[in-house]
Amino acid sequence: MRPSFVPAFVPRFLPAVAALSATALLAAGCGVSDDGVKPGVAAEVEGQQLRLGKVDQAVQDYCALRAANPQASAAPTALIRAQFVVGWTQAVAVDALAGEHGVTLPSEAIDRTAVQQAWEPLGTIDDDNYETFEWLTWIQQRLSDPVAQLGADEAGAEGQEAVAAGIDLITQWLDDNDVTFNPVFGSYDAETGVFGGDPLSVPVSAEATSAADMTALTPEQVADLPAEQRCGPAAAPAAVAPQG
């Protein structure tokens, strides 16, 4: 099941086809380690760690640009946070699978021009936020063309069938290699696209409590979320009818 609301500028790390299926096994608990993650670590897989501070800084930088962009709609912050964490685990899987499937990955050294081309439609990339968007570009580059290339090698497929096969391959790799998430996120739910225990997903406003989950909110309800739960601009003030 896909989220009912996928706002503009949400980074779709996996191709649109069956984007959430790649994390379905994680949501079901398959391949997720029971061992506790180390303090300050957001996620760990195959000996690689993602620092919680890196995720929080990325969310802050990304949402700051989104809030200042008049063309951007708002999204639940918890949904963005979940995409960053799970997208990183998927990119690690692509890195691990590429060699055995003959897939050439983009360079680890991300070109600044590539970062600017990818993100400047959202807002200004400068020295203060460059590290965040360099990291997000690294993830995006691995979860774009390489996914279809993996699927083509694995299943001999083309087009969307190759993408689907690549997603299946990534899913299987994540199932075979223990993935540990920090308990602060709670359990990942592929139906909602967020971690159920993430404090940023707990509705505290009247608008939020009227929906079953963050992804069931309408764009208007998301825009009315409290600032700490909203990634993007607030709702515009209601027009006041002229008097007299």
Domain ranges, residue 176: 24-231
Contacts of 18 (CB under 8 A, 6+ apart): 164, 167
Is 9 among the domain residues?
no
Is 17 among the domain residues?
no
Residues 32-84: pLDDT tens digits?
Answer: 444 556 788 999 998 899 999 999 999 999 999 999 998 888 888 888 888 89
Q: What angle do CA 81, 27, 154 make, to 5 degrees?
A: 100
Residues 114-169: pLDDT tens digits?
Answer: 999 999 999 999 999 999 999 999 999 999 899 999 999 999 999 989 998 998 89
Structural domain count, the chain: 1
Whether the Cβ atoms of residue 101 and residue 150 lie closer than 8 Å to each other: yes
Is 18 among the domain residues?
no
Is 97 among the domain residues?
yes
Query: Mean pLDDT over all residues of the chain?
Result: 77
Global confidence as pTM: 0.79
